[in-house]
C-alpha cells in the first residue's frame, strides 16, 4: 500500500497523494475535455459490463457484504449495466445526439430560452450524483433547432463523470457548434452529493455556473434579459 506522501504516477505525471486529495476535496477540474484514454472505445459495451461487474463484486466482497443474499447477488451486474448503458453513456461519442437544424422561416430574431432542464450527472472525484437544472438561451442566425435536442445535448454531456464548470462549458460549446451561432448562454444550478452526503455535509447549498458567448457576453442588456426569464434577476 502506498503511504501518504508517496508520489503516484498518473498518465506519466508524478502527483502527490496529498495533491490528489486536495483536488478532489476542492472539486477542481484539470481539463476542458473529459479525460479519456485513446483506446477508450476499443472494448465493446458487453465486455465493459462483464468486467465492471467482476470488479464491483470484488468491491462489495471487500466491504464485507454477503453476495449470496437474494437482495445483493444481482447488484454487481445491475451497477455495471447502469454505468455503461445509463449514467455514463455520455462518454461514448456514438451516443451523441444528432442536432438537425431547420431554417428560421418565421424570422424569429429574439432570444429563445429553454429553462428548468433537469439533469443528473456524477462528480468525477467521488462518483456520487450531481443533479439540478440547466437554463439555455440562443439567438438564431438563420437556423433553429428542435427543442428536444437542447435537452438531449444537456443530458449527453451530463451522463459522464463531471466537474460542473466543465459540464457548463461543454454544453455551451456544443450548442455554438450545433447552431452555428456565437450567441449562446447556459446557466446550471446544481446540488452536489459529495458536498451534502459526505465531507462538509451541507445539504442546503447549490452551485451555479454560467457560460456566455457572443451577444450574451458583450451585451449586458441581453444577459440581464436572459436572467430575468429564468428568475435569477428581478
Q: Catalytic residues, which ones?
A: 123-126, 164, 192, 194
What's the rounded Cα separation, in Å, for the pair 57 and 59?
Answer: 5
> What are the distances in angstroms from CA 3 to CA 42, 50, 216?
34, 32, 49
What's the rounded Cα separation, in Å, for the pair 49 and 163?
Answer: 24
What's the rounded Cα separation, in Å, for the pair 107 and 212?
Answer: 23
Beta-carbon neighbour count of residue 34 at 10 Å? 18
Contact 135, 186 (CB under 8 A): yes
Strand partners, 113: 137
Give the rounded distance of the alpha carbon of 172 from its chain centre.
12
**Cβ burial 180-205 (10 Å sphere, 16+ → b, else e):** ebebbbbbbbbbbbbbbeeeeeeeee
Amino acid at each position: 500500500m502506498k503511504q501518504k506522501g508517496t508520489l503516484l504516477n498518473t498518465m506519466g505525471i508524478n502527483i502527490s497523494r496529498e495533491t490528489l486529495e486536495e483536488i478532489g476535496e476542492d472539486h477542481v477540474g484539470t481539463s476542458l475535455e473529459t479525460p479519456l484514454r485513446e483506446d477508450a472505445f476499443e472494448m465493446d459495451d458487453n465486455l465493459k459490463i462483464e468486467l465492471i461487474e467482476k470488479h464491483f463484486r470484488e468491491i462489495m466482497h471487500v466491504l464485507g457484504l454477503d453476495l449470496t443474499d437474494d437482495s445483493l447477488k444481482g447488484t454487481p451486474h445491475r451497477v455495471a449495466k447502469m454505468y455503461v448503458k445509463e449514467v455514463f453513456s455520455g462518454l461514448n461519442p456514438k451516443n451523441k445526439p444528432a442536432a438537425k437544424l431547420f431554417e428560421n422561416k418565421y424570422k424569429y430574431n429574439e432570444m429563445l430560452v429553454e429553462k428548468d432542464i433537469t439533469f443528473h450527472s456524477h462528480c468525477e472525484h467521488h462518483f456520487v450524483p450531481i443533479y439540478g437544472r440547466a437554463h439555455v438561451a440562443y439567438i438564431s442566425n438563420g437556423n433553429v433547432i428542435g427543442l428536444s435536442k437542447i435537452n438531449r445535448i444537456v443530458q449527453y454531456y451530463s451522463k459522464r463523470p463531471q466537474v460542473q464548470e466543465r459540464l457548463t462549458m461543454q454544453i455551451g460549446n456544443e450548442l455554438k457548434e450545433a447552431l452555428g451561432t456565437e450567441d449562446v448562454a447556459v446557466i446550471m444550478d446544481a446540488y452536489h452529493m459529495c458536498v451534502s452526503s459526505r465531507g462538509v455535509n451541507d445539504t442546503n447549498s447549490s452551485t451555479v455556473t454560467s457560460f456566455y458567448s457572443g451577444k450574451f457576453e458583450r451585451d449586458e442588456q441581453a444577459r440581464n434579459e436572459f436572467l430575468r426569464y429564468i428568475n435569477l434577476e428581478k
